[in-house]
Amino acid sequence: MHRLIHSVRLGAVAVSLSSALLLAACGSDDDDDNGVGPETDAQMALGFQVARGTQSAADSAVTVGAGGTTVIRGTDTLIITSAEMVLRDVRLHGEGSTCVANDSTLTSGCATILLRPTILDLPVNGTDGGRVTVTTPRGTFSSVRLNLHRPIAGDSIDAAFRLANPNFADVSVRLEGTYNGESFTYTTDVSEVLTVPLPSAVAGGSETQQVTVLVDIAKWFWAADSGLYSPIAADEPGAIADAVNANVRTSFKAFRDQNRDGVPD
């Protein structure tokens, strides 16, 4: 039986696989092989980092440090001091493999990193965060699937999560910081299953393979022409909110990163 906690938080400290916290891929009790499944001796690790200035527009300045992520574009200054995202059903995919949503069955080319809704504390101070190591089948992985998730009332799995995390009822992203000196709390209900390709396939073997997901959070509030959208205005439905949500969807990159420095190997 899989043991799960519905409210899990991935912070800025690397963590190892724990069956009480995260659900890694494992054999189904209904399989013909009595749940043994394929060979499972590969170690894969997935973590998150905030992109620095090189990922952002040429006309912007981005600094990441102890005070958070600071974005300056035109006459606008945005400082993000906290960034949280709800993720669900995060997997590494092999090329040509088929992974069934919300299924924990162990299959070659389909490595489950986490299954239940989880709050990711994105490390806006530039550290390496939320890194999870799991045992997977041997195989070659070509993409990361991220389900940026809005916990809804009608989902039985989401129900306990919403109860434990009322700030994330129908909310997938929550930011705090200042915009041109004014404090803000920004939330959105953007919900999307994102397939983030790995530029070079990662093969699971005896050595733990490190994969980093880079989030270009500075890009989220870029205005179409110049300057930055106000997170205060983006918190309300409308054209600005739609533009920010579109930027969020395209802000993820993934790559092999053995030394976890945020630069592709």
pLDDT confidence tier of residue 100, bands split at 50, 70 and 90: low
The b/e string for 27-63 (b: 16+ C-beta within 10 A; e otherwise) is: beeeeeeeeebbebebbbbbbbbbbbeebbeeebebe
What pLDDT was estimated at residue 5? 33
pTM: 0.81
Average per-residue pLDDT in the chain? 81
> How would DSSP label each residue in 65-116?
ETTEEEEEETTEEEEEEEEEEEEEEEEEE-TT----TT--B-BTTEEEEE-S
- How many other CB atoms are found less than 10 A from the CB of residue 133? 20
In a 13 Å sphere around the CA of 58, the CA atoms on its Cβ side amount to 0
195-209 average pLDDT score: 88
Could you read off the pLDDT of 22-76 as tens digits, one per residue?
433 333 333 333 333 445 678 889 999 999 865 666 677 899 999 999 999 989 9
Contact 176, 182 (CB under 8 A): no
- Whole-angstrom Cα distance, residue 145 to residue 252? 11
